[in-house]
A and B are shown apart, each in its own frame.
Chain A
Amino acid sequence: MALKRRKKDLTFWERIYIPEIIKGLTLTLKTMFRPKFTVEYPEVKFIPSASYRGRPVLVMEENGKERCVACGLCSRVCPPLAIEVQAAETQDEKERYPVKFEINMIRCIFCGFCEDVCPEEAIVMSKDYELSFSSREEALYGKDKLLTPIKQLQDRINFLRRYK
């Protein structure tokens, strides 16, 4: 019975290695002159696309007030229990607002469930990925840090309207 030619059997030119080695060497030599992928981070910053899930923030309307109505759905859905909301009444049309809104950024896992579940499009994921704290207290982001003007978040909101 004749031996069947297997797929891994090499031809003569492949067996003497040298042409194949030269092929490999030319490939790496070409690669050496191609543009580099490296982003030199502290000097050059990576700008994520709209689908990026960075630090969750609260949307601030143009009149300087938050959209949030303090329904508490985000804090209910949050898997690591990172969000704390305390509601209060207001004279505005929406009647309720969060008197305290706190995200513990040590706990947050950037899953984006809060954004998914929010009926008012009031909490969205931003493009901010530079998070560092030197103490646990600093990691508690209150309303002062969370409120972000709607202009900076338009990108993400458009993305959500399109794909959510």
Chain B
Amino acid sequence: MSILQIIGVTVVKILVIFTMMMLTVSYLVYFERKISAWAQNRLGPNRVGWYGLLQPFADVFKLALKEDIVPTNANKPIHTLAPIIALFVAFTTYAVIPFGPDINLFGYNIPLVVADVNIGILYVLALSSLGVYALTLAGWSSGSKYSLLGGIRSSAQMISYEISMGFSVAGVLLFAGSLRPVAIVQAQHGWMWNIVLQPIGFITFLVAAFAETNRLPFDLPEAEPELVGGFHTEYSSMKFAGFFLAEYANMIISSALIVTLYLGGWQFPYIESFGLPAGLVLTIQILSFFAKIAFLLFFFIWVRWSIPRFRYDQLMNLGWKVMFPLSLINIIWVACLIMIFNL
């Protein structure tokens, strides 16, 4: 392939993923409201469009019409920058996550990942840590005590959970022997999914992912009862929508990352042995990837409406005294597996 063709293919992939991401985010908001309603014996939005399916667009329209308020005490440039960082992080991280195996199209071999980087996992970890700047800067620049508290909490929380997240990923990397997400997925063939091989690592990573995306039970940066709205108290209109969008986009990224690292990515166990035509196998593999993501997204929402928020000291206790040692134990466990079974 010439360089122009590569660029063309990449642009198409970016467009497809970006569109899907935006659509998924808008319908994720819809499903969040629906599932919360079901969990509380309510019906949820059902007025706009068929079964309320146009509700996300009505929400966005409403937010776009709102006045954009910047408080007098705010540091205006940074106040504007914060949601931009949040959105940037939310939309760039997806680039390295593969959503299907390589496909042959018109004689070209096209990998179904925007950028097949050999340090992909490092890239994800680096960018998701950048996300903390968005919240901290938003909290600091608003010039309000509630926002500041939210921002400080977010930085403390993210740093504590980044560690256990990193150590849990280390277990996966030991098995795969590579930082490339594509290689990590390929290493999990058959039932060799990492969730089966290292359940402790899966749990620590899952908990850390909840903390990283600021979802309940770890949504302390925006704990409504104590902090009004946390870091986004002073945001309105499209800037608020930016944070909102970024939160849901982060959920999608975390789910995709969990699927890639622990649930075998696009792998469907033993699909090759059924003797199905290649096109069908490919479709099933891509669909299985999206089905796994959909389940995890449902799980995110499900947990939100089941488990109450942790207290701040409980959060720190859990992060440092439970999650951190557990992820270390997981590394030792993985090392033992590799030593004993020569995996």
Contact = CB atoms under 8 A, between A and B. Distances in A.
Whether chains A and B associate is yes
A24 B307 contact: yes
Interface of B: 35, 38-43, 46, 203, 302-303, 305-307
B306 A18 contact: no
Interface in A29-61: 29, 31-38, 40
A152 interface: no
Given A28-B302, A29-B302, A32-B35, A21 B307 contact: yes
A155 B305 CA distance: 42
Nearest to A18: B203
Contacts of B303: 21, 25
A131 interface: no
Interface string A5-22: 000000000000010010
A36 B43 CA distance: 7
19 contacts: A21-B306, A25-B302, A25-B303, A25-B306, A28-B302, A28-B305, A31-B38, A31-B39, A31-B40, A32-B38, A32-B39, A34-B41, A35-B41, A36-B41, A36-B43, A37-B42, A38-B41, A38-B43, A40-B46
Contact of B306 (A28, A35, A37, A40): A28
A51 B169 CA distance: 63
A27 interface: yes
Interface residues on A, range: 10 to 19
Contacts of A28: 39, 302, 305-306
A70 to B, nearest CB: 48
Contacts of A33: 38
Contact of B41 (A18, A21, A29, A31): A31
Nearest to A16: B322
A interface majority secondary structure: helix
Contacts of B307: 21, 24-25
Nearest to B46: A40
Nearest to A29: B302
B314 to A, nearest CB: 10
Contacts of B35: 32
A40 B43 contact: yes
B322 to A, nearest CB: 9
Contact of A27 (B46, B203, B306): B306
Contact of B42 (A24, A25, A36): A36
Contacts of A24: 306-307
Given A21-B303, A27-B306, A38-B42, 5 more contacts: A21-B307, A28-B302, A31-B38, A32-B39, A37-B42
B215 to A, nearest CB: 14
Contacts of B39: 28, 31-32
A31 B37 CA distance: 10
Contacts of A32: 35, 38-39
Given A21-B307, A24-B307, A32-B35, A37 B41 contact: yes
A29 B46 CA distance: 21
A36 B40 CA distance: 8
Contacts of B38: 31-33, 36
B90 to A, nearest CB: 27
B287 to A, nearest CB: 24
Contacts of A34: 41
B281 to A, nearest CB: 32
A32 B34 CA distance: 10
Nearest to B303: A25
Nearest to B39: A28
A25 to B, nearest CB: 5
A32 B307 CA distance: 15
Contacts of A36: 38, 41-43
A27 B306 CA distance: 8
